[in-house]
Amino acid sequence: MDAFAVKLTSLAHGGGCGCKLAPSVLRNLLADMPAAAPFAGLLVGAETADDAAVWQIDDQNCVIATTDFFMPVVDDARDFGRIAATNAISDIYAMGGTPIMALAILGMPIDKLPVAVVREILAGGAAACAAAGIPVAGGHSIDAPEPIYGLAVIGLCHPSRVRRNTMARPGDALILTKPLGVGIYSAALKKGVLDGAAYAEMIGTTTLLNRIGADLARHDTVHAMTDVTGFGILGHALEMARGSQAALRIEADALPLLGRVAEWAQAGHVTGASTRNWASYGADIVLPGTLPDWRRHVLTDPQTSGGLLVSCEAAAVEGLAAEIRAAGYPAASVVGRVVAGAASVEVVG
């Protein structure tokens, strides 16, 4: 058997962050979780759908902890490992932290996948961690019916640099650091229409570390951050709106997109997760009456290893956007604003 002839995506019922439970299901599951109030050191827990947990050790140090794993979004084993690891590390950056080490999470159907393929997945994950300057210090593995890979990641941050998704302020401007459309590209891949150039574009964005988050947290003008993953730009914007008790306005025409997103979305290459996302939170979103369905699918498209949504002072936004682009995120764009009002998201344009 040719180890590298195995199509990883054929072994999974879903892929990447599109595997995430629908937002409405997740909220119901967490509804009875005990409050974290008795733990004075726990600055960030599960109460606001933030990207990671944060524990304050002393006046100078916080520990940031997260875990993220999913099933294959691509067939190349090494690329899958790189994407999954990059995505997991992103949660640390989204909180304003710097990662220091990772633990691997591995579930593999050992009767279906050759050892060489699993090794390639692990090698890809290790390569992403090496790019972030951290070791894979251990992990845990199980025999599973579908391939699963990801990381638990630990990071550090000064308490003053923690950036939650609850800290957006009316008057802020919004920046998105990476283009949207990974889920649409993934659907095109499964249908056999993704060409080599588009695949390279997809791998380029999904393996680009969100390390800019740690740099942005050094700016007092940056108030809130979150990474845009499985719930799409609308879902994660809504989490920011709810946590911050403010209204977010997203400019549809300003959103950066991967090169062929419009073409493939109009051709129907969208994910089931996009539909589940809209069913979960669509009642809380205001869309222009003339917005076509394909554009709505872009807004709810699950992003695997997506970019950061950044809320910052409006007067600083152009300078920050230029800094982000210069740091290696050429698609970074100013995509909206925060206004006073009930927690909501409105799409304009």
Contact 19, 83 (CB under 8 A): no
At residue 101, φ and ψ (nearest 5 deg) are -165, 165
The encoded tokens of residue 124 equal 């890809």
pLDDT of residue 294: 95
Residue type, 235: G
**pTM, entire model:** 0.91
For the chain, what are the domain ranges? Answer: 3-161, 172-348
Q: What pLDDT score was predicted for residue 3?
A: 45
For the domain covering 172-348, report its CATH number: 3.90.650.10
| CATH number assigned to the domain covering 3-161 | 3.30.1330.10
Which helix (DSSP H) or strand (DSSP E) does residue 134 occupy? none
Which pLDDT value is given to residue 30? 59
Give me the catalytic one of 17, 62, 129, 312: 17
Cβ(87)–Cβ(206) under 8 Å?
Answer: yes
Summarised one tens digit per residue, pLDDT across range 113-133 is: 999 999 999 999 999 999 999
User: pLDDT per residue over 49-70, tens digit each?
Assistant: 888 999 999 999 999 999 999 9
For the record, the structure tokens of 64 come out as 């940031």
Angle between helices 196-206 and 182-190 (to 10 degrees): 140
With contact defined as beta carbons under 8 Å apart, do 129 and 122 qualify? no
pLDDT, tens only, 184-230: 999 999 899 999 999 999 999 999 999 999 999 999 999 999 999 99
Burial of 42 per CB tally in 10 Å (0-12, 13-18, 19+): middle
Grade residue 34 by pLDDT with cuts at 50, 70 and 90. Answer: low
Contact criterion met (CB below 8 Å) for 302 and 17: yes
Helix (H, G, I), strand (E, B) or coil at 311: strand
Nearest by Cα to 199 from 146, 264, 143, 285? 264
Whether 17 sits among the annotated catalytic residues: the reply is yes
For residue 43, what is the enclosing H or E element?
Answer: strand 42-44
CB atoms within 10 A of CB 13: 10
Three-state DSSP class for 115? Answer: helix
Per-residue tokens: 328:
């290696």
